[in-house]
Amino acid sequence: MQEFLTATLSFPAVLFAAALVVVIAFWLLVLVGAADHHSFDTDLDTDLAGVGGVPVSVSVSVMVAIAWFTSLTGSVLLHRSTTTGTTRAALAFGILAGALLIAWAVVRVLVHHYRRFFPDQPPPSRQDFLGRVCTVRTGTVGSDFGQAEVAAADGSTAIVQVRQLRPDDTELTAGSSGLLYAYDDEGEFFWVSPYDRALDPGPPKPPPTQRRAAPGHTA
């Protein structure tokens, strides 16, 4: 036990031990709902290091854990050796570099296998809302103002800006249904037209199955 504590508190294992404490504290906050494990995904680009494709918090946590274990093993072996002075310091820095390299390599291999089973999905786009039915959330929809709520394919909802080409013909009011049929990239809004849900035939019904006659009987 004493050997373990001595190696943990010595260089370079102590650096990764401190980082591991931060990682454990972070995941405890995630567990109680005080933090989000996707918090750093928009701040770091891990694709440059070859470990992209998984949340940054996950890849960094695994890397810190592997680096700590590797450096701890090296520190134990270093303390058991008889080297001193400059040679011992050089070996300690070598353990530091080796731990980082091994951790990066292991995480990169794990991420590579993860990508094989979970291929990247295209990011959501406003074009995904075209052809969908929305519900007007503003009092009216005109040629210069209007908002509506629309549901995405995954079930989530979003509030989008909508405009009506001819608001005088048929007025869209709060709670009425509209069909998003075009998107204006410059104005960043959808063109919407009135939509009557009662006229929607719904998805096509499957053809009726024919019952097979029992043996010895004719249909």
For position 79, what pLDDT does the model report?
87
Residues 59 and 10 grouped into a single domain: yes
* Confidence at residue 190, expressed as pLDDT on a 0 to 100 scale: 95
Instruction: Look at residue 180 and tell me if it is in a domain.
Output: yes
Domain shared by 97 and 133, yes or no? no
Q: Are residues 190 and 134 in the same domain?
A: yes
Q: Is residue 138 part of a domain?
A: yes
How many Å apart are CA 3 and CA 98, to the nearest integer? 21
Strands (E), 100-141: 133-136
The two three-digit tokens of residue 161, written as one number? 């800006």
Q: What is the DSSP letter of 165?
A: S
Question: Is residue 218 situated within a structural domain?
Answer: no
pLDDT at 192: 93
pLDDT of residue 42: 46
Q: If you ran DSSP here, which 8-state letter would residue 211 be given?
A: P
Domain count, the chain: 2
In a domain, 50, yes or no: yes
Output the six-digit token pair for 28: 């405890």
Instruction: Spell out the residues 6+ positions from residue 167 whose beta carbon is closer than 8 angstroms to its own.
Output: 140, 141, 142, 143
Percent composition of the chain: helix, strand, coil (DSSP 3-state, to 5): 45, 15, 40
> What does the block give as tokens for 63?
């890397």
**What CATH number is given to the structural domain containing 151?**
2.40.50.140
In a domain, 213, yes or no: no
Using the 3D structure, point to which of 85, 117, 149 is the last residue of a domain. Answer: 117
**Per-residue pLDDT, 55:** 74
Residues 149 and 106 in one domain: no
The domain in which residue 160 lies consists of 126-196
CA 200/CA 165 separation, integer angstroms: 22
Q: 76 lies in a domain? A: yes
- Distance, first Cα to last Cα, the chain: 84
What is the 8-class DSSP label of residue 100? H
Q: Which residues contact 29 (CB under 8 A, 6 or more apart)?
A: 35
- In eight-state DSSP terms, residue 81 is S
Does 105 lie in the same domain as 19? yes
- Residue 76, classed as helix, strand or coil, is helix
Q: Do 110 and 40 lie in a common domain?
A: yes
Dist. CA 9–CA 26, nearest whole Å: 21
104 and 151: one domain?
A: no
Residues 78, 45, single domain; the answer is yes
Quickly tell me which residue has 């134990």 as its tokens: 76
Tell me the pLDDT of the chain (219 aa) as tens digits.
788 888 888 898 999 999 999 999 988 988 887 766 555 554 444 554 556 667 778 888 999 999 999 999 999 999 888 888 899 999 999 999 999 999 999 988 888 777 666 555 665 677 888 989 999 999 889 888 899 999 887 778 889 999 998 766 567 888 889 999 999 988 899 999 988 765 554 444 555 555 555 555 554
